[in-house]
Chains A and B, each alone.
Chain A
């Protein structure tokens, strides 16, 4: 190991030379032990790229784990709540996994190469969880976070950009499918996945290829409104899409200090990913079944449409009687929809049976003073934004 790395706090991604050059703001943040830009230019411009052209984000810090072995398919089916027995090769699935109490540890995506090889991508560190879970299965777990460079290309022109880059016939790739390409002599895996709720792809390649891939992609997207994209813009797009973020919208059960912060899938709107009919046992099944049978679910995670145009960051939600019924976990003013939207964790029956007459207490900063706004909210579907092009096959091309 490089000796000067011994006591440095943060790692650099293989794209660092490019991202640091592209960054005009020099604003960075820490993600999983890496430094990555929060924003390159301005949030609004980057956000617009994802809805107008192609946005490019350095995804390398994402936790990536390779699961191989004869029991790999059995193991992933055991690990997650979703039934993956029907999952086809070369596809991707959105998954969550729980601990023994049926509390969610994290969400992520699983990439299936074959029944003997998978890749799991997620936000929190789960190497030990995977290893401890693997007891009794013939599988090997490898942390490949540092050995795979990853980019996320999102936006209406992303397909064309990647086609120009060398991904032939990419438009035929359906959502949640993946395909191997050889581009510039390197293996490049492209999956039609993303975190923006729009047309988009994620590409996975050798770190050695990172810099030249970055250059080639920006060259390929030159006429297609390509733009580097930071974490803040991602946060906007994911809220519009109604995607949840671990340790923002809920605490990962292994990270939560307070047991009361742990959430079951039903409490974060992920009940649809729990399949009791699966043939084999899965972690948390016993507890989840009990929760379902006894209806002990306490909270829910919902979308809010809020009056006015002041984002409800961190607001407490009240009922008519001014009783505290929950909290906003993420909020924004949507530039595309011109709506004041938020994700909120509410105590049931609020959000499920009672959807109206609830209020957000917003503290809006106005030149060093905060104005308190009492804004009426309506519970709405969490997926605020879902354009038709997102799931279209073949994907839109700009030629």
Chain B
């Protein structure tokens, strides 16, 4: 028996890897997590890149992390606290603004300022979207069935999946009409979907934002309505669809997970980049790292995205040819960039009245779907959007741990930024040019913004790819389009967290239900591993 033997090796210490590792460690397995970076957390990190300021420099807000996971892993014990948003706002060039609040009645009044009809339509819209959230919720926890298999387990799985649309569930069953609505919701563009409810550009623009964040779809692309749902199906303490900050930055999530893992005997090894999976007799038996170490385990679980897992660390010849082909065709496109900014004070946004809670959460300045689609058109041409959709927030407004009192940390998420930049690709100079462009865009709405900047970090899809390991910088580790969802994720026939290689599993966001710091892929994958090892599964998640 070689040295360095464990029950389980997890490749990558992102939130899904740590979730899977923690569940398995809790079940009594000896788990080792290998992480290539010196720090842990993957894309859920808090890093002090400028002295005195903590940056959530990848993911920046939290909503989708499944509460059952937080409960099972007792993340509160290890310091996790979610702070709900107070509101969100879109600033307008005419000096006005549009806002949503934590309080429903305030939101209605706010929309009413722009359109009476929209204010009422918002209630119907909320109900319809909430219904979709309720329909999808149980599906998130399920392992998608293999529809090609004739095995009883998969047949029952397919039935179970279908049951949620047809038979009695939390909603007491759906009628024919609701099923048609559901099919339409999954296949429509957000533009067409919102047109069925709202009349004013600003209402539509504000709501459509959630449908494009992180994707390579525009608001006119069919399927973008589902992406909206993907951003809505989370909850902060039962308030469905609301978002919050993780106290201490997104790193607190992975830190808490690591706390749980350590308490149950698991271990994380940083600075250990896995270069290849060791295969023997068609089975994965271990991994080798860059610094020459080899680790062996009964099961290998990869938290890398599908492309990295199967094209980079696994040898092609150990996988079926058509599977490799499918993985090569797996769509994983970088479309977003980010700025992390250390501010000396709170920037003024004259559009939003002082003290208005609307400024407490995400802020935007895209006024119409047309502008948004224009931003997307730029991306299709391989350029960063000249007039981008930005999702800005200042977590330090609500979270006292991100910067010293009076100082602020601002996170600016930018949609759309291409991975393959036209005319020569990314280099340091163009990266800085991109950063300056975004700062200029924001300055249009905040006169004192530039003066307050102490330091800022520019993140292009290229950086997310090379540093965090997200292929092409796609934040969901794979596009959330119909052809890559549920039993198609990452590829049809392999959506059960198992891979063609025996003893090798995948638990990243490239699997069902996808990205967004949800933890569900990790927990689902852990369940499948435990099932195969005939280990008991306990907890609220299962």
Touch between A and B in complex, CB under 8 Å? Answer: yes
Q: Mark A residues whose CB is within 8 Å of B.
A: 1, 3, 5-11, 30, 33, 101, 125-128, 131, 143, 254-261
Whole-angstrom distance between the alpha carbons of A128 and B357 in the complex?
Answer: 28
CB-contact partner of B358 in A7, A101, A254, under 8 A: A7
* Chain B contacts for A261, CB-based, 8 A: 172
Complex CA distance for A6 and B89, rounded to whole angstroms: 13
CB-based contact A128/B174 at 8 Å: no
Residues of B within 8 A of A127 (CB): 116-117, 120
CB distance from A75 to the nearest CB of B (A): 18
Q: Which listed residue (B116, B120, B171) contacts A257, Cβ 8 A? A: B171
Q: Flag the segment in B19-27, B38-46, B48-56, B106-114 that touches A.
A: B106-114
Residue of B nearest to A3 (CB): B353
Closest CB pairs A-B (n = 4)? A260-B172, A9-B106, A9-B105, A7-B356
Q: Are B124 and A128 in contact (CB-based, < 8 A)?
A: yes
Bitwise, B148-176 to A at CB < 8 A (1) or not (0) is 00000000000000000000000111110
A151 CA to B109 CA in the complex, in Å?
A: 24
Measured as residues with beta carbon below 8 angstroms from the partner, the interface class of chain B is: 20 to 34
Q: Is the CB of B120 within 8 A of A6?
A: no
Rounded to whole angstroms, the CA-CA distance of A134 and B117 in the bound complex is: 14
Bound CA span A259–B113, Å = 32
B134, CB-defined interface residue at 8 Å: yes
**B103 at the binding interface (Cβ < 8 Å):** yes
Contact A125 B109 (CB under 8 A): no
Among B109, B353, B357, max chain A CB count under 10 A is at B109
B contacts, CB < 8 Å to A: 99, 101, 103, 105-106, 108-110, 113, 116-117, 120-121, 123-124, 127, 130-131, 134, 171-175, 177-178, 353, 356-358
Contacts A7-B99, A7-B110, A9-B106 given; indicate if A257 touches B358 (C-beta within 8 A). no
| A257 to B127 CA separation, bound complex (whole angstroms) | 6
Q: Across the two chains, which residue of chain B brings its CB closest to A35?
A: B105
Interchain nearest-CB distance for A16 vs B (Å):
16
Q: Which residue of B lies closest to A256 (CB)?
A: B127
Contact yes or no, A257 B109, CB < 8 A:
no
Q: With A30-B105, A33-B109, A259-B174 known to touch, is A7 a contact of B131 (CB < 8 Å)?
A: no
Q: How far is the CA of A5 from the CA of B356 in the complex (A)?
A: 11
| Cβ contact of A259, chosen from B109, B116, B173, B353, cutoff 8 A | B173
Using known A-B contacts A7-B110, A7-B357, A257-B131, determine if residue A143 contacts B172 with beta carbons closer than 8 Å: no
Assuming the contacts A1-B113, A30-B105, A254-B127, asked whether A6 and B173 have C-beta atoms less than 8 A apart, the reply is no
Q: Are B101 and A7 in contact (CB under 8 A)?
A: yes
Q: Decide: B109 and A11 in contact? CB cutoff 8 A.
A: yes
Nearest-neighbour CB distance to chain A for B321, whole angstroms, equals: 47
CA distance A101 to B180 in the complex (A): 15
Assess the B109–A258 pair: CB atoms within 8 A. Answer: no
Contacting residues, chain B, for A101 (C-beta < 8 A): 175, 177
With A257-B171, A259-B175 in contact, do A6 and B110 touch (Cβ < 8 Å)? yes
In the bound complex, CA of A127 to CA of B123 (Å): 12
Bound CA–CA A125/B119 (angstroms): 10
Max chain A Cβ within 10 angstroms of own Cβ: one of B101, B103, B105 = B105
Best-surrounded residue of A3, A30, A143, A258 (most CB of chain B within 10 A): A258
What is the CB-to-nearest-CB distance from B199 to chain A, in angstroms, rounded to a whole number?
10
Query: Of A5, A9, A11, A255, which one neighbours B123 at CB under 8 angstroms?
Result: A255
| Residues in A whose Cβ lies below 8 Å from that of B108 | 33
A7 cross-chain contacts in B, Cβ below 8 A: 99, 101, 106, 110, 353, 356-358
Contact of A259 with B172 at beta-carbon distance under 8 Å, contacts A8-B109, A9-B109 already known: yes
B108, closest chain A residue (CB): A33
21 contacting pairs across A/B (C-beta < 8 A): A5-B109, A6-B356, A7-B99, A7-B357, A9-B101, A9-B105, A9-B109, A101-B177, A126-B120, A127-B120, A128-B120, A143-B116, A255-B123, A255-B127, A257-B171, A258-B171, A259-B172, A259-B173, A259-B178, A260-B171, A260-B173
Give the complex CA separation of A30 and B105 in angstroms: 9
CA distance A158 to B131 in the complex (A): 46
18 further contact pairs, Cβ within 8 A, besides A255-B127, A258-B171: A3-B353, A6-B353, A7-B101, A7-B357, A9-B101, A10-B105, A30-B105, A101-B177, A125-B120, A125-B123, A127-B116, A127-B120, A128-B121, A254-B124, A258-B172, A259-B171, A260-B171, A260-B173
